[in-house]
Amino acid sequence: MKYVLRSAGGSLRTIHRGSPWPLGSTITPVGVNFSVAAPTANRVELLIFSNAEASSPEQIIELSEQHRSGDYWHVEVEGLKAGSCYGYRVFGPLEAGGHGFLPAKVLVDPCARAIDGWEVYQRVAATGASPNTDRCLKSVVSERDPFDFKAHPRPRHSWQDTVIYEVHVGGFTKRSDSGVAQDQRGTYLGLIDKIPYFKRLGVTTIELLPIQEFDPNDAPAGRDNIWGYSPLSWFTPHHGYATGADPNLARKQVRDLVAACHDAGIEVLLDVVYNHTTEGNRNGPTLSWRGFADRTYYHQSDAGDYLDVSGCGNSIAANDPLSRQLILESLRCWANELGIDGFRFDLGIALSRGEKLKPLEHPPLFEAMEADPLLSELKLVSEPWDCGGLYRLSDFPAKRIGTWNGHFRDALRSFWKGDEGSTWALGQRLRGSPDLYDGKAASLGSSVNLITAHDGFSLMDLVSFNNKHNLANGENNRDGENHNISWNHGLEGPSSDPTINALRQRQQRNLLSTLLLSRGVPMLLMGDEVGRSQGGNNNTWCQDSPLSWMIWSDDYCDHELRAFVSHLLNIRRQLSVLFNPTVPHKEKKLALSDNSDDFWRQWHGVELSKPDWANWSHCLAMSVQQGNHGSVLWMGFNAYFKEMHFALPEAASPWHRLIDTARLTGDDLLIGPKRWTSSEAPLEARSLVVMIAQSYAEELSF
């Protein structure tokens, strides 16, 4: 059936009933097909705008029941093409408490691949009941071409080889000394220029903080939301990281970034936020989801209040079929259209909650995600906690989704800080956290180990501050984590005392060595490898300033620390059978034969085979034995304030010292292992030493 409608400008457009699939706006041979879910609406208007700054629509197309299939409203409009701007108004009952429909508000298509109108947009206009047509964002018709995997195939690093580097697209190249052209600083294209940096460092995978479209105005007055953990769209790349005025350029530039990374053997993971949106609580703006299906997309109480386990005013009801469909479509968009290699789910366990936020043993979203063949080859990682107190690590309700191991982070911080009762926990983390995984070491890919992340202190600040210093955020220092397990080593903040600075440098090496030489998948935070500080601010989500940016100047970068990190990653890569085996080392010798080559782990203290797990202990050592041939690896950890002398086990071949964190500058160990002839290893106060048998030392190249 055809209809001919006259636009405000006098031109004629022919419309057809259209199709409910695909969702969003799709280019057809004659124009564009539009489809959107609004299950309880009784009328929908599609608004066509002449441009992104237009204060009123050029054409209004009313969709009645004949344009409806179940929960979906759809229409095909002839003559439109990529770049056309549109929005929706949705009509229906308004319930007590403000739930339901606000047809005065122009809504963004939840499946839009591009959004424009930022020059006229006002967030406040999306609140209340007054029209916002002259100050609204517009959805933009986009192509949906698949990513060219034939020309730029996924690197597909195994979990054993994977090393993740968490990076903020805008902050990484924002500084004038970043070496990136001025018009590309803080952009997708600017990040391409830094791919050689990732390669030299030795990471295999970059994890981008959210680049799903977000509203920078979703922040206190005078500040910008730069982390992007309150999405405006789950399909649109953030406009602020693109160069050029065309809103569809962001899609192309994300593809260019991913293609360049793939060509260099670097995987790209995306930090995604499906647990809540930028619409906030019921007093927040009506921008998209709320206006189409308020009670469908958000968890709500019987009284109509938004239920919140995100800490941001609302929680997405991922158990609902329409919400689930939208999230799966978003994942497919990023993975198959833009080439993303995997996802990290912010507060991911919140997506396992059902009616009234009850935790589900078999969350339908995770089941559908794991069964989807289009998502089957991706790396999937999640935070195992949410703000409602749910924390599921070994029992995370999805087999293919690994989790951030917050216990690993806390154990390493506590041990090197010198806390009592921390040695046993360190041993558990070095074992692969069997205490957290039903008595068995976590399988590779199920546990992502970390010391720091975007949310919290940087590594330099972890060893420089006892307390957070977040006054710049405008919340009277109330925001940010209070339990940081940090230590300033004698002075709060920057110091000119060489003794304090040397100790801080050593502690950074201790923490990084323990992270990168432990079994599991390690994640590094942007800038930790060069001593980047945030001035003690552990929640820089609204600081688009040098406080949040990567450092590049020789005057501020610790290049020796970066060389040390690269050295560690090189060792880890070449000796994965010792440091990161696919099958965990046994905890005792296998009684197979006298000539067994099986590896097994033995624990020590300062004396051989006598580990001290007592509450007061601050020292630990472990060795990896090769059958009956002797030790091939020894690692000693001394978090005590005095030097300790450790007895060394008999080596399978002569010992060589591989790492000594007490050697801070001009370290000749970076050239290669050094022969060690003594039967004991002195460990200076708060230091770590690694010994390796000559047979393995000879295999290393530097």
Instruction: Classify residue 46 by its DSSP letter.
Output: E
Task: Residue 591: count other Cβ atoms within 10 Å of its Cβ.
Answer: 7
Instruction: Classify residue 333 by its DSSP letter.
Output: I
Task: Residue 260: count other Cβ atoms within 10 Å of its Cβ.
Answer: 18
SS3 199: helix
Instruction: Classify residue 231 by its DSSP letter.
Output: B
- DSSP characters for 406-427? HHHHHHHHHHHHT-TT-HHHHH
- Which residue type, as a one-letter code, is found at position 227? W
- Do residues 77 and 34 touch, judged by C-beta distance below 8 A? yes
128: Cβ contacts below 8 Å, ≥ 6 apart:
none
The angle, 0 to 180 degrees and rounded to 10, between the axes of the packed helices 559-574 and 498-516 is 20
How far apart are alpha carbons 391 and 414 in whole angstroms? 20
Task: Residue 226: count other Cβ atoms within 10 Å of its Cβ.
Answer: 24
CB burial string 100-117: b at 16+ within 10 A, e below? bbbbebbbbbbbbbbbbb
Count how many residues are written for the chain. 702
> Which residue blocks in 535-692 are alpha helix, DSSP H?
559-574, 576-579
Instruction: Classify residue 37 by its DSSP letter.
Output: E
SS3 345: strand
Annotated active-site residue in 76, 218, 294, 346: 346
Annotated active-site residue in 383, 528, 558, 660: 383
Q: Is 383 a catalytic residue?
A: yes
Alpha-carbon separation of residue 530 from 268, 474, 521, 557, 563 (angstroms): 22, 28, 21, 5, 9
- Do residues 638 and 688 touch, judged by C-beta distance below 8 A? yes
- What are the tokens at 618? 């601050």
- What are the tokens at 561? 């620390």
Residue 88's Cβ-side half-sphere holds a number of Cα atoms within 13 Å equal to: 32
Q: Is 361 a catalytic residue?
A: no
The angle, 0 to 180 degrees and rounded to 10, between the axes of the packed helices 289-297 and 321-332 is 120
Instruction: Classify residue 128 by its DSSP letter.
Output: S
- What are the tokens at 240? 């602020």
SS3 250: helix
545: Cβ contacts below 8 Å, ≥ 6 apart:
none
- Do residues 523 and 207 touch, judged by C-beta distance below 8 A? yes
Annotated catalytic residues are 346, 383
